[in-house]
Amino acid sequence: MKNYLIRTILVAFLGLLSFSCNDEFLDKVPLDEISNSSFWNTENDLRVYNNSLYHLARLDENVPIFMGHRDAFNSHRYGIWHISGFSDNTAPRHPRHDLYQRVRAGKHFPPNGPFPYGYRGFNFLRAINVGMDNYGKAQIPDEVRNKYVGEARLMRGWFYADKISKFGSAQWVDRELSTDDEEILNGERDDRDFVMSKVLEDLNFATQSLPNDWGDGNAPGRINRWGALLIKSRVALFEGTWRKYHGLSGADQWLTEAANAALELMQDGPYSLYQTGDPTSDYNASHRMTDLTGNPEVLYWRRYERGIFTNHVQSYHRSYNGGATKSMVEDYLCTDGKPISLSPLYKGDAVYKDIFENRDPRLRQTVLHPDDQAIYRYGNHDFDRYTYPRVQGMAGGLRVYTGYHIIKVYEVGAAHASYNSSETPAITLRFGEALLNYAEAKCELGGGTISQEDLDMSINLLRDRVGMVHLEANPEMDPRYADDGISAVLAEIRRERRIELFMEGFRYDDLRRWKQGKKLEQKDYGMRWDEANRTAVDPDGNVTVQSGMVDGVEYLEIYKGTDYENPVFDESKHYLWPLPISALSQNPNLKQNPGW
């Protein structure tokens, strides 16, 4: 046996020696490996490669465009629901959400390494450009090839739009780099106009080349042309309003692109608002579905499936979101279409349940009414075991810091499931945003005016779903927005956006593009906390959240006694994020953003 093994090894070794002098053999690709030279032949090759781009984009903190939920433990801090913590919509206090609290309070500084959602994700850009350098090798019709080129260019344009929105300028790179590309690796950032012109080229190519339907049945699958139009309208609206309110040229061009892209989707696309005819629950129900296949409002979503890709976001979110803020709750209109500052229907907040009386039905579908605990089985307990609201420090049930419990996305099974077993989906793109983008862009282009026809085909469709009165073209100005320097109807369109898109990741960016960062200097408060409410909610005095006075009335003051008690917003620097020190160390020519 030993001799046999020796002979076998010798034969194999001699065989290798005979091949070692054969150049043709050396040039051959291993049969068990895929190489760049043997790939890029068929449509399936391009499809498989682009699948890897979607896979990279699942890391929300690295590539914050296809926002969803991170998986496993990381779903506690990264994802589309959590980024509301940057704004005045929610008030997270958990230590794991310190970044959100710090940025919201203006207490952040240039980090050593990149912030989550910040100056990172360039491996994703490189992967896109590798594809762009090779798609042309496939022996397939251009029409077929361009579907995948369009997919990649959509992602590249969207990626760069996000970088420009946060950092103001960036290096435009549209090919694979090597260590020899010193003029780029050590180069300066390209200016905003140049990069955004390239972004628009990418987005336009995508909207012209992607198919209307990939044939995936919205299961979900790939971004189609309608999704590209919504992304284009989102990017163009941000850029147009940023330019308008930050004193840059070209605002109307971008606003026109935003309006036209949204209108094409609205008029020609196959999507519509989800509704069953129940205005008291349809808005909420569309955000609590565990399977969004077939939902006519959803253009793109992220699916999770046990054994493949799961999350724990519901469990973390119910504990970490802090609750909706007083500012958020007070922005909901009364049922007569007037703000609480003007409507005779508003009953005030002295009695907790009165907050919901005669208000936009979306309030009760977003924040828990005490009588609705059994509907959602909120807290995963029987109705009579604990009463709500419950504030941090109290025992039992679910507690929040503000007293305003968020139920827009709450689903009891996932919220109390075992670790990392949840299949809670994430909505990335939905039709309702297109309606809001269109209305805002048209009103901006109209100099703060908009036709009733445009309102009826956009904002008022959202209101019809929940049984709210229509927005008229000439509403009365809410005194709380009188100093914003905009028309009354534009203020109402912005309010509608805040209400409709709550918990969907828009508010912080909206405040930045509108140049309304000073709103983040206002402290975050919660429910009224006078003696009557303390006695009714917390008779044992266990609540640990401190309180403060607002116009002579006591409310929960969420960050009192913390490092973030007195938020600041420095107009000279806080609209943009700082570049990380690590990036500047590698390339000083990038230069830090002003004020940082």
Residue-wise pLDDT tens digits, 426-445: 999 999 999 999 999 999 99
pLDDT at 593 over 70: yes
- Higher model confidence: residue 178 or residue 6? 178
Band the pLDDT of 11: cuts 50, 70, 90.
very low
- Residue 67 and residue 162: Cα distance in Å, rounded? 12
Whether the CB-CB separation of 154 and 228 falls below 8 Å is answered with: yes
Collapsing DSSP states into helix, strand and coil, what is residue 580?
A: coil
Neighbours of 531 (CB within 10 A): 8
Maximum pairwise Cα distance, the chain: 102
Band the pLDDT of 12: cuts 50, 70, 90.
very low
- Specify the DSSP element, H or E, that contains 496: helix 488-500
Collapsing DSSP states into helix, strand and coil, what is residue 548?
A: strand
Residue 416 tokens read as: 């109390």
Whether the CB-CB separation of 392 and 431 falls below 8 Å is answered with: no
Instruction: Quote the DSSP letter at residue 75.
Output: G
DSSP one-letter string for 213-257: --SSTTSS----HHHHHHHHHHHHHHHHHHHHHTT-S-HHHHHHH
- Residue 429 and residue 327: Cα distance in Å, rounded? 26
Q: Report the pLDDT averaged over residues 544-571.
A: 98
Band the pLDDT of 4: cuts 50, 70, 90.
very low
Residues 339-368 pLDDT 10s: 999 999 999 999 999 999 999 999 999 999
Residues 184-229 pLDDT 10s: 999 999 999 999 999 999 999 999 999 999 987 766 789 999 999 9
Q: Report the pLDDT averaged over residues 372-391.
A: 94
Residue with tokens 């990149």: 114
- Residue 30 and residue 563: Cα distance in Å, rounded? 59
- Residue 144 and residue 29: Cα distance in Å, rounded? 28
Q: Hey, CA dihedral for 445, 166, 235, 98, is it positive or negative?
A: negative
- Residue 521 and residue 515: Cα distance in Å, rounded? 13
Collapsing DSSP states into helix, strand and coil, what is residue 51?
A: helix
Whether the CB-CB separation of 292 and 301 falls below 8 Å is answered with: yes
- Residue 235 and residue 88: Cα distance in Å, rounded? 22
Residue 49 tokens read as: 């490669």
Residue 361 tokens read as: 């039905």
- Higher model confidence: residue 171 or residue 26? 171
Collapsing DSSP states into helix, strand and coil, what is residue 298?
A: strand
The set of residues, in sequence order, having a beta carbon less than 8 Å from that of 268 and lying 6+ positions away, is none
pLDDT at 35 over 80: no
Band the pLDDT of 28: cuts 50, 70, 90.
low
Residues 463-506 pLDDT 10s: 999 999 999 999 999 999 999 999 999 999 999 999 999 999 99
Give the pLDDT score at 318: 86
- Residue 272 and residue 258: Cα distance in Å, rounded? 19
Give the pLDDT score at 421: 87
Q: Distances from the Cα of 381 to the Cαs of 369, 377, 386, 537, in angstroms?
A: 16, 6, 8, 18
Q: Hey, CA dihedral for 217, 220, 226, 228, is it positive or negative?
A: negative
pLDDT at 166 over 50: yes
Share of the chain above pLDDT 70, in %: 94
- Residue 83 and residue 115: Cα distance in Å, rounded? 13
Residue 350 tokens read as: 């002295």
Amino acid letter for position 305: E
Q: Distances from the Cα of 509 to the Cαs of 76, 197, 239, 241, 577, in angstroms?
A: 21, 21, 11, 11, 12
Mean pLDDT of the residues in the chain: 93
- Residue 67 and residue 87: Cα distance in Å, rounded? 17
Taken as a whole, the chain contains a residue count of 596
pTM of the model: 0.93
Q: Is 543 exposed, middle or buried (0-12, 13-18, 19+ CB in 10 A)?
A: buried
The set of residues, in sequence order, having a beta carbon less than 8 Å from that of 264 and lying 6+ positions away, is 229
Q: Which of 203-212, 286-295, 309-318 has the lowest mean pLDDT?
A: 309-318
